[in-house]
């Protein structure tokens, strides 16, 4: 089996993580790619090696210097995120396809690196007010961080048409079904929607 990659990217608050978790729970042939990052853990719920590989900035920079990342980015000042090459190999070695939950820039870099072996899905909410309410509902945002995130959302939205498909996450159950069909078509028939198609 040639391993493939399914990439879900989106601005914060779009619901991509919820969709990815659902897909992992319903597809035995998918394995999650755990990203590396330098940020603090969100509460006690996040575990090293399960949710993220939590690295110090020095550890992260050393891995950059050693060319251990497929892609990486300084998302905010001092906050690095990236995908380790060894992580993709780990999932493929288990006989599964790799499922990603990454930011927009990371998703585009992965798609460029792997080309036709990757399906890149951009997840977006129907409107900005829905997004604002989702971010506020997390209870992790200060007014300043919310403002920064919303500014970044506008920037990230400008890249949506570079993805294979745009998934509008309005109704979650509907998004689950559309995501599953995209994955099934890609893995079984190698079908990819017309670039930038919105579903």
The Cα 31–Cα 92 span in angstroms is 8
- H helix intervals, the chain: 16-26, 57-65, 85-93, 104-114, 128-137, 143-157, 172-189
Q: Is 14 annotated as a binding residue?
A: yes
Pairing label, strands 165-168, 118-124: parallel
Tell whether 17 is in a known binding site.
yes
Specify which residues 52 forms β-bridges with.
48
From CA 129, how far away is CA 147, in angstroms rounded?
13
Is residue 16 a known part of a binding site? yes
Q: Is 175 annotated as a binding residue?
A: no
Residue 26, marked binder: no
Q: At residue 65, what are phi and psi to the nearest 5 degrees?
A: -60, -30
Annotated binding-site residue numbers for ATP: 10-17
Annotated binding-site residue numbers: 10-17
């Amino acid at each position: 089996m040639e391993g493939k990659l399914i990439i879900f990217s989106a601005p914060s608050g779009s619901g991509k993580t919820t969709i990815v978790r659902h897909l992992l729970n319903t597809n035995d042939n998918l394995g999650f790619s755990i990203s590396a990052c330098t940020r603090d853990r969100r509460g006690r719920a996040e575990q090293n090696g399960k949710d993220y590989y939590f690295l110090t900035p020095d550890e992260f920079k050393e891995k950059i210097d050693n060319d251990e990342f497929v892609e990486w980015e300084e998302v905010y000042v001092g906050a690095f995120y990236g995908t380790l090459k060894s992580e993709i190999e780990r999932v493929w070695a288990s006989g599964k396809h790799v499922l990603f939950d990454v930011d927009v820039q990371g998703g585009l870099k992965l798609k460029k690196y792997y080309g036709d072996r990757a399906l890149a899905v951009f997840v977006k909410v129907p409107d900005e007010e829905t997004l604002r309410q989702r971010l506020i509902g997390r209870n992790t945002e200060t007014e300043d961080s919310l403002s920064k995130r919303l500014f970044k959302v506008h920037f990230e939205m400008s890249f949506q048409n570079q993805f294979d498909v745009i998934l509008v996450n309005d109704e979650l159950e509907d998004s689950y079904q559309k995501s599953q069909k995209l994955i099934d078509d890609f893995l079984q028939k190698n079908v990819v929607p017309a670039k930038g198609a919105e579903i």
